[in-house]
Structure 1
């Protein structure tokens, strides 16, 4: 088998049909399969997915639900393939990208994975407008494949597992840190890879959702996972959220000091300065304020993530196989 396209999804009934159709179309020139890894959807995601010639697996224990678990569950069906593409359930895969990425990986055995441009299609949320601002189109070696990518399975095998099942975010960064610390290269090319139809939720509601779901704790979880590991230095140097968290904690201390000493003019300056700087950077006072709020939420999450309990990341995820590609029938076989 050459390629497995793994789709991780949770309650994506609005998007899952076109996501699956795009994956099947992209896979058409190759030998492979599409696998839907569902994290316990309670909407029509699985019902819709059953119409297509794909495999469907579902997380057995929804208490284990997180971004890393969804990605690792998808990968567990790809270990016999040459390449694995990770796709979110609200994305559309560009078929031409897959052709180019396969050719590049076959031509350069030192490259562990290739990503392309993520095109944001829903710009209601401030978060996705900022993501679109930060999108880079030039080809470059990178430290992670944001938004999914095509990976060499042999490279993943050399670092023991695809995604850390404990991570609520930054699972792609964490994988990249392990791969590059092992000597592999990751490449981003300037070609569109996926079209992302992100949440239409407003930015501040999205921040609250990330705080409640544990997503904001991802950076702390990555740091804790790296303690004593070969990729620890890479995490410290490259994970920007750790640097932002350190700055925000110093900012909190300055705020507390100014308030404790009743230095109200200084307090006002300390509050306004980062907002003004971020507003200039984003080209908008509203986006600057949102960025400041996002930094604070991320720092709160960072602290919480450092305290989270961990399950060994090499332990397979228990799951139910809802549909087999060979038979098209439902089974209930779980594995550990």
Structure 2
């Protein structure tokens, strides 16, 4: 059974060589690597083209998104299994063998992942991600494979497409909920999958970058994609952040009401600032870090603001061919 390793990239010149080399050390002669580039301008494509891989790139006019890259690679792939990862990751040498064995023994499992080891915990976003955990990161049956994993082509074919090109975030969750609606399951093994070398920029700069790139609109886009689908109820059940952001909306309405109703505006402002400070301190206690607590509350506000923007964004057919070109193809 052959494997197609699908690597999505956008300006990953610093990492792509090490990423490809980690994959080459793990695959067999019948397997392939496809680098799907969303318009890099930093030499990523040129570096990738030095290796025994296929490099494909979106055509001029196509707009990059987190969901577009995997689907772009998928449409050029040939393997029986599809290993999805990012251009700033290093694949564990033993993962593919163990993941394939698990899929062979469990025919109703559509995809299997492992642990994503975060290597850049200096960034508050990645530190917060590790601190808060989450059942989707635990071993066993999960509702999504955040960070990527190994999927059966037959399951993806039944789902219609690998990744929704319209999504700027939450593309792994969207794939998981579509597969589960068809009766498939997902599993995370208690083994390493990849090392992840994320952004080293300041967390607040990363937050602004994700606002500009529309990454923060992912939840709203997923909700819009699920309208009228059989998995609509599962979206509301499994995206736990929706309840959090609902609380953010309610809290903002309450604060505005206080500012409007309380006649003494200085007192009203003090009440509002005190309430916000209480939330920050509660999150700081949870994460055992004031920096993480303050960042978490700031991130909530950005994400809550982005949700309706994503929900009302226009959509394209997620299964349609992505206009692109083959820049390099050295597959055997």
* TM-score in terms of structure 1 length: 0.93
Task: Tell me the equivalent position of 2:56.
Answer: 57
Separation in 2, partners of 1:61, 1:91: 27
Per the alignment, in what secondary structure is the counterpart of residue 124 of structure 1? Answer: coil
Q: Show the 5 A alignment for 1:223-234.
A: 223-234=223-234
Q: Which has the higher contact order (CA 8 A, sep 6+)?
A: 2
User: Residue 331 of structure 1 aligns with which residue?
Assistant: none
Matches within 5 A, 1:156-195: 156-195=156-195
CA distance in 2, matches of 1:61, 1:110: 39
TM-score, normalised relative to structure 2: 0.94
CA distance in 1 between counterparts of 2:240 and 2:302 reads 14
1:122 to 120, 138, 152: 120
C-alpha displacement of 1:62: 4.8
SS of the residue 2:126 aligns to:
helix
User: How many Å apart are 1:326 and its aligned residue?
Assistant: 5.1
SS in 2 for 1:198: coil
User: Partner of 1:271 in structure 2?
Assistant: 276
Structure 1 position 240, deviation (Å): 2.3
- The equivalences for 1:114-263 within 5 A come to 114-135=112-133, 138-262=138-262, 263=268
Residue 96 of structure 1 corresponds to 94
Q: What is the root-mean-square deviation in Å for CA atoms of aligned residues?
A: 1.5
Partner Cα separation in structure 2 for residue 240 and residue 159 of structure 1: 23
Q: Distance in 2 between matches of 1:242 and 1:174?
A: 15
List alignment gaps of at least 5 residues for structure 1: 328-336
Residues matched between the structures, number: 325
- What is the distance in 2 between the residues matched to 1:143 and 1:177? 7
Tell me whether 1:66 sits opposite 2:65 in the alignment. Answer: yes
* Distance in 1 separating the partners of 2:62 and 2:56: 16
Structure 1 runs, 4 residues or longer, greater than 6 Å off: none
| 1:63 Cα deviation from its structure 2 partner | 3.9
Q: Structure 2 stretches of 5 or more lacking a match?
A: 263-267
